Copies of this chain bind each other. A is one copy, B any other.
Amino acid sequence: MTTTTIAKDRVLIFDTTLRDGEQSPGATMTHDEKLEIATLLDEMGVDIIEAGFPIASEGDFEAVSDIAKASKNAVICGLSRANFKDIDRCWDAVKHARQPRIHTFIGTSPSHREITKLDMDEMIQRIHDTVTHARNLCDDVQWSAMDAIRTERDYLCRVVECAIKAGAGTINIPDTVGYTLPDESAAIIRMLVEKVPGADGVIFATHCHNDLGMATANSLAAVAAGVRQIECTINGLGERAGNTALEEVVMALRVRRDLMPYQTNIDTTKIMNLSRRVSQVSGFPVQFNKAIVGKNAFLHESGIHQDGVLKNVETFEIMRPADIGITETNIAMGKHSGRAALRSKLSDLGFDLADNQLNDVFVRFKALADRKKEIYDEDLVALMADSAANTDTDFLQVKWLRVICGSEGQSAELKLLVDGVEHHADTSGDGPVDAAFRAVDQIYPHKARLQLYQVHAVTEGTDAQATVSVRMEEEGRIVTGSAADTDTILASVKAYVGALNRLRVRREKTAPDADMKKVSFKL
């Protein structure tokens, strides 16, 4: 993918939900979840999917490899630091893709040079060697100057020139600490485009963080200055205040094409579904007033303000809910809906199931429909998430639970299958959740610490399903478990047990490359 292959007004969307997003504390996704998200991104029209950091762990390597194998249209990219071992490992993972890309980076600002103990000239040499090495493996190489915004301007020109000469086709200028302003973001790109020999033969990329709330504006200012690749994540997922939100840059380009005459390849009607799935698998809720994908983004206060909307739809609405895939009414199914109707509805929601999967989901659907009159789209999405997260082959499985709570105290009685063998516990605790979790701990002692517990009502109404996510930490390993049920406490225990199952899997995996602990790798 070089500049000659894309139109001048075309902006490439580079999604890093699975790399920079997944790197957020607690947002760890399973292998299957990563594959599912990658498929959805590919179908939505994302140009480049950064699928992971292959050398970080066996799990990352396998995820990138499998995403590469499954990819259809998107370029599949892996991240690597500035050394041959990282780059080789990255290539081994991405090479299975129809369009593979190696992305290599080094921190070029004074504080990062200090960390790597390279002086300016040594770093130039390192960039030359590593980009050349990557280019010998792969035609499509992206190079990033980590902390570019805080790199001396003259030196930034030098490193970019070196990377271009060594064969990088995409040059990324990240605002690693979320520090820049639109004018500064644009000025740096303009400088590079004007001053660096060979700049007209590459694509410049922008990668912003939202620490000061300006990632979207900074990315778009960079586009106006010459950038043609925006790096972003769904829901702005990412460390600290997160990355540029894909939904914001894409919709801003669409709504304000009068001032920003650029095109992306994104099918915006798939945004809402992807937002929901990423929120579910990461366990990161989207706030009500989040731009584009928040629950309230298209809501108006009743009465007064709606009147203006009715009188003239353009008075207050610059986008329509349907533009991002929110349908007018979403009552999906009831207890009399059959297997074919369920399959068709799930397919509309982006889930294409094999027959055996459908059977399992149908049983769960019927059980839910017995308890809940109206089954909404959101209920089905929660059901799918639950059935992906908790299966009957898990090491730990909740067999039976009874919890008593209220103003006179709380107790729990639990039957838990551990590797197929039934165990029983009877405990009390501070609150129904604490009592039930203690019952799990009594049967299956562990050292993990509960970092986060959250409950979402899936739909309105008192009989709504609850989706519970728990985040647990053990010796630096952080996992998330989730489950859905109309019984909040039962969902809580299933999520807790789900997290413990995941921790067990994580423990058994190879430890991260020891070297990883020594070098910072945040873009």
Chain A residues packing against B (C-beta within 8 Å):
23-26, 111-112, 114-115, 147, 176-179, 181-184, 210-218, 220-221, 224, 235-242, 245, 248, 251-252, 255-256, 259-260, 284-292, 294, 296-305, 307-308, 311-312, 314-319, 371-372, 398-408, 410, 413, 429-434, 437-438, 449-457, 460-464, 466, 473, 476, 478, 485-490, 512, 516-522
| Contact of A405 with B111 in the complex, beta carbons under 8 Å | no
Q: In the assembly, what is the distance between CA of A302 and CA of B474, in Å?
A: 11
Copies, count: 2
Q: Which residues of B contact A457 (CB under 8 A)?
A: 452-454
Q: Which of A114, A181, A400, A410 has the most CB of B within 10 A?
A: A181
Q: In the assembly, what is the distance between CA of A24 and CA of B211, in Å?
A: 25
Given contacts A240-B297, A462-B434, contact A211 B291 (CB under 8 A): yes
Taking CB as reference atom, which chain B residue is nearest A489?
Answer: B405
Q: Which residues of B contact A240 (CB under 8 A)?
A: 289, 296-300
- Separation in Å of the A500 CB from the closest CB of chain B? 13
Q: In the assembly, what is the distance between CA of A213 and CA of B460, in Å?
A: 27
Q: Which of A248, A255, A455 has the most CB of B within 10 A?
A: A455
Question: Which of B318, B429, B490 contacts A405, CB < 8 Å?
Answer: B490
| Contact of A289 with B454 in the complex, beta carbons under 8 Å | no
Q: In the assembly, what is the distance between CA of A212 and CA of B213, in Å?
A: 12
| Contact of A406 with B402 in the complex, beta carbons under 8 Å | yes
Q: Which residues of B contact A318 (CB under 8 A)?
A: 177-179, 211-212
Given contacts A212-B248, A245-B213, A315-B520, contact A455 B452 (CB under 8 A): no
Question: Which of B24, B176, B224, B434 contacts A301, CB < 8 Å?
Answer: B24
Given contacts A429-B462, A517-B304, contact A213 B211 (CB under 8 A): no
Q: Which residues of B contact A290 (CB under 8 A)?
A: 241, 287
Q: In the assembly, what is the distance between CA of A235 and CA of B245, in Å?
A: 18
Question: Which of B287, B434, B456, B487 contacts A432, CB < 8 Å?
Answer: B487
| Contact of B177 with A317 in the complex, beta carbons under 8 Å | yes
| Contact of A454 with B455 in the complex, beta carbons under 8 Å | yes
Given contacts A252-B212, A285-B285, contact A438 B454 (CB under 8 A): no
| Contact of B305 with A430 in the complex, beta carbons under 8 Å | no
Q: Which of A25, A217, A314 has the most CB of B within 10 A?
A: A217
Question: Which of B26, B235, B308, B517 contacts A307, CB < 8 Å?
Answer: B517
Q: Which residues of B contact A26 (CB under 8 A)?
A: 288, 296
Q: Which residues of B contact A476 (CB under 8 A)?
A: 302-303
Extra pairs beyond A402-B407, A431-B466, A452-B460 (14, CB < 8 Å): A25-B301, A178-B318, A210-B289, A214-B252, A217-B217, A241-B297, A305-B520, A399-B407, A400-B407, A403-B404, A407-B487, A437-B462, A438-B462, A450-B464
Q: Which of A238, A408, A432 has the most CB of B within 10 A?
A: A432
A-B residue pairs in contact (CB < 8 Å), sample of 27: A23-B301, A177-B318, A178-B318, A179-B255, A182-B217, A182-B221, A212-B251, A213-B215, A213-B216, A214-B217, A217-B217, A217-B218, A241-B289, A242-B296, A285-B285, A287-B287, A302-B473, A302-B476, A304-B521, A399-B407, A402-B405, A433-B488, A434-B462, A437-B462, A438-B462, A449-B461, A451-B460
Q: Which of A114, A241, A285, A512 has the most CB of B within 10 A?
A: A241
Question: Which of B218, B429, B490 contacts A407, CB < 8 Å?
Answer: B490
